[in-house]
Amino acid sequence: MKRLRDYLELSFEEIYTVDRPTLGRNADVSLIRALILSIIRYLGFNAASKLYHAGMYFGGELGVSSIDDMKEIFKELGIGIINIVSTEPMVIRIEECVECSGLPNIGKPVCYFDAGVIAGCLEGILGSEVKVVEKNAVLWGMTIANLRYIHYQIKYCKIIL
Ligand SMILES: [Zn+2]
């Protein structure tokens, strides 16, 4: 399986380095969302799956070794705040998600990349296959004002916290 650096010839450490003395390392959340939605639009067939797998590669590149590491890097990169809701089945809640928090309810999942990043991180921690499913029931039933977090159900995951 090819890794991110095989395609881009850049490691995560290299892309983490930022040389922007005036603007710094932060960009607006709307730019990230526009980038992801543009990619979905132009990928066409199976775009969601491709974005999920792209997220998995990236998650694997992060090299996290524990849930605490994953929580820390999600917060550090501004992806979102991870809360473990339950372990059997494992359910993770992402608060202040960079991809969806504050978006209007469009009636379908939008956080394919994030779900893949979680899967890639968990596979690195466990050394085995993990599938992350965006649980829409919680999100879609809520009003826009309450649209502040999303749940992911983790399949094939046996982490004891
Ligand atoms: Zn989200």
**1 lies in some domain:** no
**95 lies in some domain:** yes
Q: Which of 31-35, 101-105, 106-110, 152-156 comes out lowest in average pLDDT?
A: 152-156
Distance from the CA of 159 to the center of ligand 1, in angstroms?
22
pLDDT digits (tens, 9 = 90+) for 134-151: 775 444 333 333 333 455
Query: Residue 104 corresponds to which tokens in the numbers above?
Result: 């209007």
pLDDT digits (tens, 9 = 90+) for 106-121: 767 788 898 899 989 9
Domain tally for the chain? Answer: 1
Distance from the CA of 139 to the center of ligand 1, in angstroms?
10
Distance from the CA of 107 to the center of ligand 1, in angstroms?
13
pLDDT digits (tens, 9 = 90+) for 61-96: 899 999 999 999 999 999 998 888 777 777 788 888
Residue bearing the bigger pLDDT, 110 or 38:
38
**161 lies in some domain:** no
Distance from the CA of 94 to the center of ligand 1, in angstroms?
7
Cα-based distances in Å from 16 to 10, 73, 98, 140: 10, 12, 18, 34
**43 lies in some domain:** yes
The CA distance from 8 to 11, in Å, is 8
Distance from the CA of 40 to the center of ligand 1, in angstroms?
15
Distance from the CA of 72 to the center of ligand 1, in angstroms?
17
DSSP states of 36-54: HHHHHHHH-TTHHHHHHHH
**76 lies in some domain:** yes
Query: Residue 75 corresponds to which tokens in the numbers above?
Result: 């917060």
The CA distance from 96 to 75, in Å, is 10
**3 lies in some domain:** no
The CA distance from 113 to 119, in Å, is 10
Distance from the CA of 149 to the center of ligand 1, in angstroms?
7
Distance from the CA of 22 to the center of ligand 1, in angstroms?
29
Task: Judge whether 76 and 16 are in contact, CB under 8 Å.
Answer: no
Which one-letter DSSP state was computed for residue 62? T
Find the CATH number of the domain harbouring 130: 3.30.1380.20
Distance from the CA of 52 to the center of ligand 1, in angstroms?
12
Please tell me the predicted confidence (pLDDT) of residue 96. Answer: 85
Please tell me the predicted confidence (pLDDT) of residue 25. Answer: 92
Q: Could you tell me the pLDDT band of residue 12, with boundaries at 50, 70 and 90? A: confident
Please tell me the predicted confidence (pLDDT) of residue 41. Answer: 86
**130 lies in some domain:** yes
Please count the other Cβ atoms lying within 10 Å of the Cβ belonging to residue 7: 10
Print the domain residue range for 88: 9-155
- Predicted TM-score of the model (pTM): 0.80
**39 lies in some domain:** yes
Please tell me the predicted confidence (pLDDT) of residue 133. Answer: 80
Distance from the CA of 97 to the center of ligand 1, in angstroms?
4
Rounded percentage of the chain residues whose pLDDT exceeds 70: 77
Rounded percentage of the chain residues whose pLDDT exceeds 90: 29
Mean pLDDT of 47-74: 92
